[in-house]
Amino acid sequence: MAVCARLCGVGPSRGCRRRQQRRDPAETAAADSEPDTDLEEERIEAGAAELCSEWSGRSSSPSPPPRCSLLELPPELLVEIFASLPGTDLPSLAQVCTKFCRILHNDTIWRRRCREEYGVCENLRKLEITGVSCRDVYAKLLHRYRHILGLWQPDIGPYGGLLNVVVDGLFIIGWMYLPPHDPHVDDPMRFKPLFRIHLMERKSATVECMYGHRGPHNGHIQIVKKDEFSTKCNQTEHHRMSGGRQEEFRTWLREEWGRTLEDIFHEHMQELILMKFIYTSQYDNCLTYRRIYLPPSHPDDLIRPGLFKGTYGSHGLEIVMLSFHGKHARVTKITGDPNIPAGQQTVEIDLMHRIQLPNIESLCNFNELSRIVLEAQEQVRQEQQRQEDRTEDGEGSGPPTEVREPENEGAAPLKEEPVQFVLPVGVSSRNENYPRTCRMCFYGTGLIAGHGFTSPERTPGVFILFDEDRFGFIWLELKSFSLYSRVQATFRNADAPSPQAFEEMLKNIQSLTS
């Protein structure tokens, strides 16, 4: 707007009335109403001298630069100038005078705004065949639906999910990200489209539901508020299959698990799979989504935070988010299950209590690992108790307690170089192809609960850092091991505006399932 004010020759203090009129970009630019030309030219010339002097270069002569007007510049130069301005500022510029309004009909300006602001790399010239201009694409598609771009978590009970809404060519598409088939945690993510928005004609954008196996069909999107929107399918019969629910279940099972029900011999696992199908299919792609942000990173973070895929026993692979919070790190579920639903903090790592693993021979003994972890747990408990006692006595937080490393017989020395690692005998793992070296380990707690998130409690465990892209957690009470691998994908429009906004987002998604 500052640039617009200078182009107008009117600063904020002089009160440009037309700056206060806010309309959708391009739609206002298309208005043919003619302002008072004489008055507007006076305003333009009042501020044009300074702007022209910057373009023509500063003169060494003390004499003032010659007066000139933007109206005297050739149209092709004005197109270049206007194309460099944010699209949201162009409506105000269109109301300066008739000439500016006419120039802003040039599609070259809007083609550049589509490319620079939304990354549209398609050849937009082919739109001329359909009668749709780049100005229409910007105003009626990209700008109108800009608030739904980014990462979202659908409200599907305990299961959650990860939706990435992106500009894809001349479409806006909502891609549902799915973890790889269990237990291949290092495989790339899978994704499928849930909806798409495109401009078929000049009137308005078209929303289509992509759910099911019968092609795109009529849908609807409602932006509830800033960080929430909902989708609705208007033709749910397109989701049905000719073979009925049995065929739908078998198709879903192949997509979700990459196998048939006959291949799954574990009875409890069969029940969990059938339960998830019945629960999730009832929504028919009529869902509410809430925005999620990627965690901010800091130079002193243990590894780069972000999204990871993790193994969760009979529940299969789930998507989690690793974030750092001072002396602690958290692993939050983005997808979940009936025991620990999406949004809950599945693992918490105490970065102040590093665990020194025993040598490889002793590590094979589960009792030895259990002894080390329980010692660390007792040390943490005592420090917390002393902290509470000081607070009750009015002494404040006081100096930090010195962290004492557990004294382990036959332990390998603490160092940053990778050391040998093996799971203790008796600890189960969905994926036996875990790394055989690790960089460091920390005391942590894992959240466990009964079906329906009943009787949740935090139990001790070990966080194992393997490398920049993989970590693990040993659940001591469950005698189980979870392996996590980084989601190798780039997400746009997913950064939190501030650390406080990220913390608030974590609280919100956790409160939904608490």
pLDDT at 288: 95
Residues 501, 475 share a domain: yes
CATH number, domain at 326?
A: 2.40.128
Question: What 8-state DSSP symbol labels residue 142?
Answer: I
Structure tokens at 479: 């005698």
Structure tokens at 482: 């979870």
Backbone angles phi, psi at 26, to 5 degrees: 75, -40
Cβ-contact 72, 56 below 8 angstroms: no
Contacts of 424 (CB under 8 A, 6+ apart): 363, 364, 365, 366, 368, 369, 474
Domain boundary among 255, 288, 321: 288
The three-state secondary structure class of 34 is coil
Contacts of 232 (CB under 8 A, 6+ apart): 219, 220, 221, 222, 285, 286
Question: What 8-state DSSP symbol labels residue 225?
Answer: E
Structure tokens at 294: 């990627």
Residues 313, 284 share a domain: no
Q: Token match 């919100």: residue?
A: 508
pLDDT at 407: 42
The mean pLDDT value for 354-368 works out to 91
What is the C-alpha R_g of the chain?
A: 30
The mean pLDDT value for 109-124 works out to 84
- pLDDT surpasses 50 at 356: yes
* 387 occurs within a structural domain: no
Q: 195 has which bridge partners?
A: 174, 209
pLDDT at 61: 53
Backbone angles phi, psi at 152, to 5 degrees: -140, 155
* 248 occurs within a structural domain: yes
Q: 175 has which bridge partners?
A: 164, 193
Q: Which candidate, 373, 316, 322, 371, places its Cα nearest to that of 348?
A: 322
Q: 274 has which bridge partners?
A: none
Q: How far is CA 332 from CA 82, 348, 443, 470, 493, in A?
A: 45, 9, 17, 16, 20
* 33 occurs within a structural domain: no
Q: Are strands 228-233 and 288-291 parallel, antiparallel or unpaired?
A: antiparallel
- pLDDT surpasses 50 at 413: no
* 505 occurs within a structural domain: yes
Residues 137, 269 share a domain: no
Q: Which candidate, 428, 425, 427, 423, places its Cα nearest to that of 466?
A: 423
CB-CB neighbours of 384 under 10 Å: 11
pLDDT at 443: 97
Structure tokens at 37: 């030309």
- pLDDT surpasses 70 at 409: no
Q: How many structural domains does the chain have?
A: 3
pLDDT category of residue 399 using cuts at 50, 70 and 90 = very low
Residues 174, 102 share a domain: no
Domain boundary among 141, 161, 195: 141
CA 219 to chain centre: 24
pLDDT at 287: 95
The mean pLDDT value for 451-475 works out to 96
pLDDT category of residue 5 using cuts at 50, 70 and 90 = very low
* 51 occurs within a structural domain: no
Q: Please report which helix (H) or strand (E) contains residue 165, including its range.
A: strand 162-168
Q: Which of 42-51, 71-80, 439-448 has the lowest mean pLDDT?
A: 42-51
- CA dist., res. 464 & res. 53, Å (int): 62
Residues 309, 363 share a domain: yes
- CA dist., res. 435 & res. 33, Å (int): 69
Query: Residue type for 290, please?
Result: R
* 347 occurs within a structural domain: yes
* 59 occurs within a structural domain: no
- CA dist., res. 92 & res. 101, Å (int): 10
CATH number, domain at 101?
A: 1.20.1280
Residues 263, 161 share a domain: yes
pLDDT digits (tens, 9 = 90+) for 157-198: 999 999 999 998 889 999 999 999 988 999 999 999 999 999
Q: Are strands 470-475 and 428-429 parallel, antiparallel or unpaired?
A: unpaired
Residues in the chain: 514
Residues 460, 331 share a domain: yes
Residues 242, 215 share a domain: yes
Residues 349, 265 share a domain: no
**Which pairs with CB-CB distance under 8 Å and at least 24 residues apart come from 262-268?**
266/314, 268/314
Q: Please report which helix (H) or strand (E) contains residue 183, including its range.
A: none
Q: 471 has which bridge partners?
A: 465, 484
Structure tokens at 351: 């970065």
Domain boundary among 93, 124, 141: 141
Residues 180, 137 share a domain: no
Q: Angle formed by the axes of helices 107-118 and 75-83, to 10°?
A: 20
Q: How far is CA 300 from CA 206, 320, 398, 467, in A?
A: 46, 21, 24, 16
* 444 occurs within a structural domain: yes
Q: Token match 């160092």: residue?
A: 415
Which structural domain, as residue segments, surrounds residue 444?
Answer: 297-382+416-512
Residues 277, 162 share a domain: yes
Q: Token match 């771009």: residue?
A: 149
The mean pLDDT value for 390-411 works out to 51
Sign of the torsion formed by the C-alpha atoms of 395, 396, 400 and 401: positive
pLDDT digits (tens, 9 = 90+) for 283-333: 998 999 999 999 999 999 999 999 999 999 999 999 999 999 999 999 999
Residues 305, 259 share a domain: no
The whole-model pTM stands at: 0.81
